[in-house]
């Protein structure tokens, strides 16, 4: 009984795998071709300086961790 179940299960698995293989397309892609990629680069200009909050001043000003 278990041998028959095992054979039946193996046949079912082989059938599912073979059906999946034959269901795949074979390269007959009907999509339109994609346009070539273009890279758009903005012109480089003078950038303003960054606002850096860590520049100078009291370093323990915002320390809220309770360290001595």
> For residue 7, what are the domain limits?
1-25
Residue 14 lies in a domain: yes
Residue 11 lies in a domain: yes
Instruction: Single out the residue of 46, 67, 53, 1 nearest to residue 9, CA to CA.
Output: 1
Q: How far apart are the C-alpha atoms of 13 and 1, rounded to whole Å?
A: 18
Summarised one tens digit per residue, pLDDT across range 5-63 is 999 999 999 988 888 777 766 666 678 888 999 988 888 778 777 776 665 555 555 55
Residue 55 lies in a domain: no
Structural domain total, the chain: 1
pTM of full prediction above 0.75: no
Residue 37 lies in a domain: no
């Amino acid at each position: 009984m278990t041998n028959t179940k095992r054979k039946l299960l193996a046949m079912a698995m082989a059938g599912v795998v073979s059906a999946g293989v034959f269901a795949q397309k074979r390269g007959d892609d009907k999509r339109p071709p994609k346009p070539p990629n273009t890279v758009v680069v903005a012109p480089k200009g003078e950038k303003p300086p960054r606002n850096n909050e860590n520049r100078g001043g009291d370093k323990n000003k915002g320390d809220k961790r309770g360290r001595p």
